[in-house]
Structure 1
Amino acid sequence: MSIVIVGAGLAGGTAATELREQGYDGKVVLLGAEEHPPYERPPLSKGYLLGNDALDSAFVHPREWYAEHDVDLRTGVEATALDTDGHVVSTTSGDVTYERLLLATGAEPRRLAVAEESGVPVAYLRTIEDSDRLKAAFGEGRRIAVVGAGWIGLEVAAAAREAGSDVTVFETAELPLLRVLGPTVAEVFAGLHREHGVDLRLGASVSPQDLAGADLVVAGVGVSPRLDLARSGGLAVDDGVLVDATLRSSVPSVLAVGDIASHAHPLLGRLRVEHWDTAINQAKTAAHNLAGADEVYDAMPYFFTDQYDLGMEYVGHGSADDEVVVHGDLESRTFRAFWVREGRVVAAMHANDWDATDDLRAAVRSGELPTEG
């Protein structure tokens, strides 16, 4: 049986690895539009951008691993169309046939017209080359404008400040990360960045004139899932490729994972998650199912961030409308927070409390709020 994986990012590379590690000995073709073999993206806005981590540590495997394990890795190859009746993926280097297909096409940064109209060089952060460009632009006396105070925008702001740049962050919401964390915890991140000298302009619209004095504008206004290939194959698509609890699409021979998968989570309902941990773990489950299993994916979403001296981990899927219960001290930035909806814990995070992770996972899975202490 032949399995084709479209998307040679972290999810695609993990799926190919899992197939081989679990003993699948059929044909595996891994197609990637970038020239690099599969790599992790978190270091691009964290350790690698800060200059603390070597690039080699970001790769899933050295390139030679794929040939050694009989994985047909084709980089610099873009998939352009999908024929699910004929089981054919059209690419920039010819057609590829499959028996089972995994879509892991990822996402791309949303373009920001106001930045591109400013006359200032504009950077997005998605690839190794993007991270290299940012790293080269940071330094003493450099003026960096960041539009968007989400996770990527704040991590870039922190890295720029640590490199000595003057940083201004523009955000339309009243607080950074407000839609994700709600006001109680979002205020922690606002204070953190102000304390480190970031000029936070919150509740602010931004014009090209506001950006004109910068040396570089970093656009951090989110990403859009790459769905054109799925649409060309007639798959059911909404915010992402609609997949069931086993990650199968509306065409059962086609599975989807990672940034593009709108997954029917058995505990949390339908959701699409754009985080590293989901890419890894969905890819492992999908690999098992591609090889003939029928496993349900029910892992809790997880992500982390490191900004200055604050490290945090988050489990579950909360919203700004949920009640937030805090155990610990917000002022010292060492605490646990729980998002509670209709009496049930739906998400939890810690800041600088590295023994907390297992407890957070248990609280979200059980739905029960722990007692403080």
Structure 2
Amino acid sequence: MRRILVVGASLAGVSAAEELRAQGYEGELVLVGAEPHLPYTRPPLSKDALLEGIDQTALQLRDEHWYAERGIELRLGEKAVGLDTTHRQLRLADEATLDYDGLVLTTGLAHRPLPPALRLRHAHQLRTLDEAERLSAALAGARHLVVVGAGFVGLETAATARLLGLDVTVLDVAAQPMSKAFGPEIGIWFARRHELAGVRLLLSASIIRADDEPDGTTTIALDSGERLRADCCLVGTGSMPTTDWLRGSGIDLGDGVLCDPTLATNVPDVVAAGDIARWDNEQFGESMRVEHWTNAVEQGVHAAGRLLGSRDPFTSVPFFWTDQFDAKLRCVGRPSIADDVDILRDEDARLVAAFSRGGRIRGAVCVNAPREMAQLRRAIAERTRVSDLTRDCTPATPTAAAAATA
């Protein structure tokens, strides 16, 4: 291959470009990104970066010299809008085209379209560096933050805002936070942590109307009859793979870019990695798409090897984390596919849960429990039965909150 394009200046994209050079690829290598910034890490945008101030240099994955030293051409601020796989050409928003011999797709996620009631001029969303800078400036002059959506980003931002001294209210239609990812048991524990820290949670709540006010505040009317007035509002209603630009290209799509177990697409010399890649994970015997940091790094590396000729399948046990106040949640495996949940420890500052299907452990959540996390990660990889877990993880006496879910 004489020229490889990596489309998406993301963590997965940078990892793929780095691995291509590490494996000896000496041809042209171009990294294309829609944002004008050097590729950066996203997890701190809702946590440390908001708390301590946005430092673009500190957030960069690599500095500009790193790319130059490796002969990686940067095409930043140039959005991909189309792909001709017959003639092997990438089309950019300015109507320029780039030829390629090999292609790595790493365009990541975009915000899910907002419902009409939440299309507000004054409301914030949080995914990009520019959005984080605008939110940080707004929080600096705010007293009351309302967060719509009790997912990871919403709760992390809520925790950060409380540490900054703001009054914080979190709204969600679900009965518990993070319920889509874990079900009610984990959400109940985190709801308790947030409420103890002074966050007000309004769950099972529907927004009837939301309005921008002339003074820059936002008024939100709930189905309960309550009206909230916020001088800063964050809407976190989820994300979706950035794949619209690939429609008509011939690449198979379906909640992401569809890949075989090696991360290859149905089109020759085109692979995908990171948040957009849906692949057959032979470790779990299912098709999955994983939207987390560790997966982006590992898949970027693997996709590079696949493009250069490897045929090894990408098998992994997904791993991700969220930090909220002093609670460090680490999740491994696939809790979302479980039939049963066993709470192995439930304490004021620590939580351990095993998620199983057919009696075999398929996922685990550990909060402030690194030793148990290592043990359960091995158990998932070995497809251990829950009944065979070591006595180090025998159930503790449940708290009232955990017992309420039984």
TM-score interval, normalised by the smaller of the two chains: over 0.9
Partner of 2:158: 157
Displacement of 1:229 in angstroms is 2.5
Does residue 345 of structure 2 align to residue 344 of structure 1?
Answer: no
Alignment check: 8 A CA contact 1:178 1:320 kept: no
Largest Rg, 1 or 2: 2
Secondary structure, counterpart of 2:363 in structure 1: strand
Partner of 2:391: 372
Does residue 349 of structure 2 align to residue 333 of structure 1?
Answer: yes
Alignment check: 8 A CA contact 1:347 1:364 kept: yes
Displacement of 1:58 in angstroms is 2.4
Query: C-alpha distance in 2, partners of 1:163/1:346?
Result: 37
Residues 288 and 183 of structure 1: CA distance in aligned 2, closer, same or farther (over 3 Å): same
Does residue 295 of structure 2 align to residue 274 of structure 1?
Answer: no
Residues 33 and 264 of structure 1: CA distance in aligned 2, closer, same or farther (over 3 Å): same
Query: C-alpha distance in 1, partners of 2:302/2:366?
Result: 27
Partner of 1:199: 200
Displacement of 1:326 in angstroms is 2.1
Alignment check: 8 A CA contact 1:143 1:215 kept: yes
Aligned amino acid, residue 302 of structure 1: F
Residues 49 and 105 of structure 1: CA distance in aligned 2, closer, same or farther (over 3 Å): same
Alignment check: 8 A CA contact 2:124 2:135 kept: yes
Q: 1:100-111 counterparts in 2 under 5 A?
A: 100-111=102-113
Structure 1 stretch 357-366 or stretch 152-161: which is displaced more? 357-366
Residues 195 and 320 of structure 1: CA distance in aligned 2, closer, same or farther (over 3 Å): farther
Partner of 2:262: 246
- What do the CA deviations read for 1:252-277 (whole angstroms, capped 9, x no partner)? 31111111111111122101111111
Partner of 1:3: 4
Alignment check: 8 A CA contact 1:334 1:351 kept: yes
Partner of 1:264: 280
Residues 120 and 71 of structure 1: CA distance in aligned 2, closer, same or farther (over 3 Å): closer
Displacement of 1:148 in angstroms is 0.6
Partner of 1:255: 271
Secondary structure, counterpart of 1:232 in structure 2: coil
Alignment check: 8 A CA contact 1:168 1:201 kept: yes
Displacement of 1:53 in angstroms is 8.1
Residues 53 and 346 of structure 1: CA distance in aligned 2, closer, same or farther (over 3 Å): farther
- What do the CA deviations read for 1:290-330 (whole angstroms, capped 9, x no partner)? 122122111111111110010111111112753111222x2
Partner of 1:98: 100
TM-score, L = length of structure 2: 0.87
Partner of 1:309: 326
Alignment check: 8 A CA contact 2:10 2:39 kept: yes
Aligned amino acid, residue 8 of structure 1: A
Structure 1 stretch 155-164 or stretch 15-24: which is displaced more? 15-24
Residues 141 and 26 of structure 1: CA distance in aligned 2, closer, same or farther (over 3 Å): closer
Residues 90 and 320 of structure 1: CA distance in aligned 2, closer, same or farther (over 3 Å): closer
What are the ranges of 5 or more consecutive residues in structure 2 without an aligned counterpart? 211-219, 222-226, 393-406
Displacement of 1:23 in angstroms is 2.0
Count of residues in Structure 1 that have an aligned counterpart in Structure 2:
371
- What do the CA deviations read for 1:1-38 (whole angstroms, capped 9, x no partner)? 11111001111111111111222212111100101111
Partner of 2:69: 68
Partner of 1:322: 339
1:292 aligned to which of 309, 330, 336 = 309
* Identity %, equivalent residues: 39
Structure 1 stretch 239-248 or stretch 224-233: which is displaced more? 224-233
Aligned amino acid, residue 259 of structure 2: V
Displacement of 1:60 in angstroms is 1.6
Secondary structure, counterpart of 1:37 in structure 2: coil
What are the ranges of 5 or more consecutive residues in structure 1 without an aligned counterpart? none
Displacement of 1:81 in angstroms is 0.8
- What do the CA deviations read for 1:163-188 (whole angstroms, capped 9, x no partner)? 11111111101101112112222101
Alignment check: 8 A CA contact 1:10 1:280 kept: yes
Displacement of 1:61 in angstroms is 0.6
- What do the CA deviations read for 1:93-121 (whole angstroms, capped 9, x no partner)? 5111111111111111123235545x561
Query: C-alpha distance in 2, partners of 1:34/1:157?
Result: 26
Structure 1 stretch 98-107 or stretch 48-57: which is displaced more? 48-57
- What do the CA deviations read for 1:128-163 (whole angstroms, capped 9, x no partner)? 111122222225861111111011110011111111
Alignment check: 8 A CA contact 1:322 1:340 kept: yes
Query: C-alpha distance in 2, partners of 1:166/1:320?
Result: 36
Residues 357 and 248 of structure 1: CA distance in aligned 2, closer, same or farther (over 3 Å): same
Query: C-alpha distance in 2, partners of 1:18/1:57?
Result: 23
Alignment check: 8 A CA contact 2:80 2:93 kept: yes
Alignment check: 8 A CA contact 1:35 1:75 kept: yes
Alignment check: 8 A CA contact 2:54 2:133 kept: no
Alignment check: 8 A CA contact 1:246 1:289 kept: yes
Query: C-alpha distance in 2, partners of 1:283/1:83?
Result: 23
